[in-house]
Structure 1
Amino acid sequence: MGEIKNRLRKDLTAAMKQRDDFAKSTIRMALAAIQYAEVAGDQARNLSEAEEIAIITKEQRSRTESAQTYADAGRPELAEKEAAEADFLTRYLPQPLSQDELVAIVDAQMAATEAELGAKPTMRQMGAVVKAVNEKVAGRADGKTVAGLVKARINS
């Protein structure tokens, strides 16, 4: 069992003892998403920590997008609830990389790809570079941000 799932279960027990309905429902939602992923497919399996992080990240992003949708639709009470859930889920995610750290990782991967190819990477290699950087940052940076940085480095 992954570390995040264990932490969620411990926090659920604590929330139940404290009668914290908000934390209880949010944690149950996250646990349900993880358990669904564990039983999806041909046979049940335990998820790695990286897979658990990906699930929590997806749930957090979904809540953030829902909050924006509710805010745009003039439903501030629902937007606040979704935003609070998204904020709550961030405590189960690894600390995000700073912009400088992310730029350093992108630059290192660009240099490695350039050394491998013998020439500066082009837009054809962008997907491979983005994939390699995303594997290194493992949920600590948004894929859209990584792709934007790689594209800027290729075009410069």
Structure 2
Amino acid sequence: MALLAQIQNDVRAALKAGERERAQALRMLANALQNAHKDARGRTVDEVEILRRERKRRLEAAEAYERAGDSERARAERAEAELIDGYLPQPLATEELARIVDEAIAETGASEPRDVGKVMAAVMPRVRGRADGAEVSRLVKERLAA
């Protein structure tokens, strides 16, 4: 609920400042979070994951608009993705992610490429929201192949 409350406060601040586009984008984020909390039915809601999903949607829409030749709408979608970035945790530095992967490999005893799943299961809870799964997978495969 912490992110939702922060975003709702930021909607009010944007409205007071006359930033209509920003307020509209923030309202869409707040709605996505509110819907997730309603649908959770008592379960814990991973607000960071919801924001990551919303960011990904904006970037995919921007690419689609670019392909369709609508650069103005693509720009607007990218601006919303950047807005969402401000609410996401800072991504891990490559060195830090590599250290976590190396620790997970040592802990799981993984030694060959077929152990990727075992290592991923150990790494992902540690980096939740701070590293892209595709990047983690690439690094794990790289480390196990070496």
The TM-score bracket by the shorter chain reads: over 0.9
Aligned ranges for residues 1-156 of structure 1 at < 5 Å? 2-40=1-39, 43=41, 45=42, 47-48=44-45, 51-114=46-109, 120-156=110-146
Instruction: Report the TM-score, using the length of structure 1 for normalisation.
Output: 0.87
Distance 1:18 1:47 in 2: 33
Instruction: Report the TM-score, using the length of structure 2 for normalisation.
Output: 0.93
Distance 1:87 1:131 in 2: 29
Q: Alignment identity in percent?
A: 36
What is the Cα deviation at residue 47 of structure 1?
Answer: 4.1
Question: Which residue identity does 2:81 align to in structure 1?
Answer: A
Long gaps (5+) in structure 2: none
CA RMSD of aligned residues (A): 1.5
Distance 1:113 1:147 in 2: 15
Question: Which residue identity does 1:5 align to in structure 2?
Answer: L
Distance 1:6 1:65 in 2: 27
Equivalent pairs counted in the alignment come to 146
Distance 1:29 1:129 in 2: 36
Question: Which residue identity does 2:95 align to in structure 1?
Answer: D
Distance 2:28 2:111 in 1: 42
Long gaps (5+) in structure 1: 115-119
